Amino acid sequence: MTNLANYIVPIFVLGIILYAFHKKVNIYESFLIGAKEGLVTTFKIAPAVIAMVFATNLFLNSHFLEFLFSYFNPFLTHFGIPISVLPMALVRPISGTASLAIMTNIFADYGPDSFVGRLASNLQGCTDTTIYVLALYFGSIKVTKTKHALQAGLFADFVGILAAFLITFLFFG
Protein backbone atom coordinates (compact mmCIF):
# COMPACT_ATOMS: atom_id res chain seq x y z
CA MET A 1 0.00 0.00 0.00
CA THR A 2 2.70 2.48 0.93
CA ASN A 3 4.65 1.32 -2.10
CA LEU A 4 1.71 2.24 -4.27
CA ALA A 5 1.36 5.56 -2.45
CA ASN A 6 4.93 6.37 -3.42
CA TYR A 7 3.85 6.63 -7.05
CA ILE A 8 1.12 9.20 -6.48
CA VAL A 9 3.23 12.33 -6.20
CA PRO A 10 5.62 11.59 -9.11
CA ILE A 11 2.70 10.69 -11.39
CA PHE A 12 0.87 13.83 -10.35
CA VAL A 13 3.85 16.10 -11.01
CA LEU A 14 4.88 14.39 -14.27
CA GLY A 15 1.28 14.44 -15.49
CA ILE A 16 1.01 18.19 -14.95
CA ILE A 17 4.33 18.92 -16.66
CA LEU A 18 3.72 16.63 -19.65
CA TYR A 19 0.20 17.99 -20.16
CA ALA A 20 1.50 21.57 -20.04
CA PHE A 21 4.28 20.65 -22.48
CA HIS A 22 1.66 19.21 -24.83
CA LYS A 23 -0.35 22.46 -24.50
CA LYS A 24 2.79 24.50 -25.28
CA VAL A 25 2.76 26.37 -21.98
CA ASN A 26 5.93 28.21 -21.04
CA ILE A 27 6.47 25.78 -18.18
CA TYR A 28 9.52 27.27 -16.56
CA GLU A 29 8.04 30.78 -16.58
CA SER A 30 4.79 29.51 -15.07
CA PHE A 31 6.66 27.66 -12.36
CA LEU A 32 8.62 30.77 -11.38
CA ILE A 33 5.48 32.90 -11.22
CA GLY A 34 3.76 30.36 -9.01
CA ALA A 35 6.81 29.78 -6.86
CA LYS A 36 7.08 33.50 -6.18
CA GLU A 37 3.50 33.48 -4.98
CA GLY A 38 4.37 30.62 -2.64
CA LEU A 39 7.15 32.72 -1.21
CA VAL A 40 4.75 35.61 -0.61
CA THR A 41 2.24 33.24 1.01
CA THR A 42 4.90 31.93 3.38
CA PHE A 43 5.56 35.45 4.60
CA LYS A 44 1.85 36.11 4.93
CA ILE A 45 1.30 33.07 7.15
CA ALA A 46 4.47 33.62 9.20
CA PRO A 47 2.87 35.65 12.03
CA ALA A 48 0.00 33.17 12.49
CA VAL A 49 2.32 30.15 12.45
CA ILE A 50 4.79 31.60 14.92
CA ALA A 51 2.02 32.82 17.25
CA MET A 52 0.18 29.50 17.21
CA VAL A 53 3.26 27.29 17.64
CA PHE A 54 4.42 29.44 20.54
CA ALA A 55 1.09 29.18 22.36
CA THR A 56 0.55 25.46 21.73
CA ASN A 57 4.05 24.57 22.88
CA LEU A 58 3.63 26.63 26.04
CA PHE A 59 0.36 24.84 26.73
CA LEU A 60 1.56 21.32 25.91
CA ASN A 61 4.87 21.69 27.77
CA SER A 62 3.04 22.77 30.93
CA HIS A 63 1.64 19.18 31.09
CA PHE A 64 -1.69 20.60 32.16
CA LEU A 65 -3.54 17.93 30.16
CA GLU A 66 -1.68 15.10 31.88
CA PHE A 67 -2.54 16.67 35.23
CA LEU A 68 -6.19 16.90 34.25
CA PHE A 69 -6.32 13.31 33.11
CA SER A 70 -4.52 11.84 36.09
CA TYR A 71 -7.94 12.09 37.83
CA PHE A 72 -9.50 9.81 35.22
CA ASN A 73 -6.81 7.19 35.56
CA PRO A 74 -8.69 4.64 37.75
CA PHE A 75 -11.69 4.81 35.44
CA LEU A 76 -9.55 4.30 32.36
CA THR A 77 -7.50 1.40 33.66
CA HIS A 78 -10.78 -0.31 34.44
CA PHE A 79 -11.42 -0.42 30.68
CA GLY A 80 -7.82 -1.21 29.86
CA ILE A 81 -7.21 2.16 28.22
CA PRO A 82 -3.79 3.57 29.07
CA ILE A 83 -3.87 7.15 30.20
CA SER A 84 -1.75 8.45 27.32
CA VAL A 85 -4.44 7.81 24.75
CA LEU A 86 -6.84 10.42 26.17
CA PRO A 87 -4.39 13.32 26.02
CA MET A 88 -3.72 12.15 22.48
CA ALA A 89 -7.40 12.59 21.66
CA LEU A 90 -7.36 16.08 23.15
CA VAL A 91 -4.05 17.07 21.58
CA ARG A 92 -5.03 15.85 18.13
CA PRO A 93 -6.98 19.02 17.14
CA ILE A 94 -4.19 21.22 18.53
CA SER A 95 -0.95 19.76 17.24
CA GLY A 96 -0.27 17.02 14.70
CA THR A 97 3.33 16.58 15.79
CA ALA A 98 2.40 16.23 19.45
CA SER A 99 -0.29 13.62 18.81
CA LEU A 100 2.05 11.76 16.47
CA ALA A 101 4.66 11.71 19.23
CA ILE A 102 2.13 10.25 21.69
CA MET A 103 1.12 7.65 19.10
CA THR A 104 4.76 6.66 18.58
CA ASN A 105 5.17 6.24 22.34
CA ILE A 106 2.08 4.03 22.47
CA PHE A 107 3.46 1.90 19.63
CA ALA A 108 6.76 1.55 21.46
CA ASP A 109 5.13 0.69 24.81
CA TYR A 110 2.19 -1.48 23.76
CA GLY A 111 2.88 -2.36 20.12
CA PRO A 112 0.89 -1.21 17.07
CA ASP A 113 -1.24 -4.37 17.07
CA SER A 114 -2.46 -3.94 20.66
CA PHE A 115 -5.91 -2.50 21.27
CA VAL A 116 -4.47 0.90 22.26
CA GLY A 117 -2.09 0.80 19.32
CA ARG A 118 -5.02 0.42 16.94
CA LEU A 119 -7.04 3.00 18.83
CA ALA A 120 -4.17 5.49 18.57
CA SER A 121 -3.83 4.77 14.83
CA ASN A 122 -7.51 5.51 14.30
CA LEU A 123 -7.39 8.64 16.45
CA GLN A 124 -4.53 9.98 14.38
CA GLY A 125 -6.44 9.32 11.17
CA CYS A 126 -9.90 10.48 12.18
CA THR A 127 -9.27 14.22 12.17
CA ASP A 128 -6.77 16.96 11.49
CA THR A 129 -5.29 19.81 13.54
CA THR A 130 -8.40 21.98 13.54
CA ILE A 131 -7.15 24.86 15.64
CA TYR A 132 -3.86 25.18 13.80
CA VAL A 133 -5.49 24.97 10.36
CA LEU A 134 -8.08 27.60 11.29
CA ALA A 135 -5.44 29.99 12.63
CA LEU A 136 -3.27 29.44 9.59
CA TYR A 137 -5.92 29.70 6.86
CA PHE A 138 -7.83 32.63 8.32
CA GLY A 139 -4.58 34.32 9.36
CA SER A 140 -3.23 34.15 5.82
CA ILE A 141 -6.12 36.26 4.47
CA LYS A 142 -6.54 38.38 7.62
CA VAL A 143 -10.05 37.21 8.43
CA THR A 144 -10.73 37.76 12.14
CA LYS A 145 -14.49 37.21 12.32
CA THR A 146 -14.68 33.47 11.79
CA LYS A 147 -18.36 32.97 12.74
CA HIS A 148 -19.14 29.31 13.47
CA ALA A 149 -16.01 27.84 11.82
CA LEU A 150 -14.32 26.85 15.10
CA GLN A 151 -17.47 25.37 16.64
CA ALA A 152 -18.13 23.31 13.52
CA GLY A 153 -14.51 22.12 13.37
CA LEU A 154 -14.37 21.17 17.04
CA PHE A 155 -17.76 19.50 16.86
CA ALA A 156 -16.48 17.36 13.96
CA ASP A 157 -13.36 16.52 15.99
CA PHE A 158 -15.42 15.52 18.99
CA VAL A 159 -17.66 13.24 16.95
CA GLY A 160 -14.61 11.84 15.14
CA ILE A 161 -12.85 10.97 18.39
CA LEU A 162 -15.97 9.30 19.76
CA ALA A 163 -16.33 7.41 16.49
CA ALA A 164 -12.69 6.28 16.63
CA PHE A 165 -13.23 4.87 20.14
CA LEU A 166 -16.45 3.08 19.21
CA ILE A 167 -15.19 1.73 15.90
CA THR A 168 -12.00 0.39 17.46
CA PHE A 169 -14.10 -1.37 20.09
CA LEU A 170 -16.42 -2.81 17.45
CA PHE A 171 -13.74 -3.98 15.02
CA PHE A 172 -10.88 -4.94 17.30
CA GLY A 173 -12.33 -5.05 20.82
87 near 102, Cβ under 8 Å?
yes
Among 54, 70, 77, 80, binds other proteins (CB under 8 A): 54
Q: Which of residues 80-109 bind other proteins (CB under 8 A)?
A: 93, 96, 100, 103-104, 107-108
CB of 111 to other proteins, least distance (A): 7
CB of 109 to other proteins, least distance (A): 10
The amino acid that residue 65 corresponds to is L
Under the criterion CB under 8 A, does residue 59 sit at the interface with other proteins?
A: yes
The amino acid that residue 31 corresponds to is F
- The residues, any chain, with a CB within 8 Å of residue 115's CB and separated by 6 or more, are 80, 168, 172, 173
102 near 133, Cβ under 8 Å?
no
Among 82, 84, 89, 129, binds other proteins (CB under 8 A): 129
Choose between 19 and 72: whose C-beta lies nearer to other proteins.
Answer: 19
Give the span between the Cα atoms of 160 and 84, in whole angstroms: 18
Count the site residues for other proteins by CB under 8 A: 99
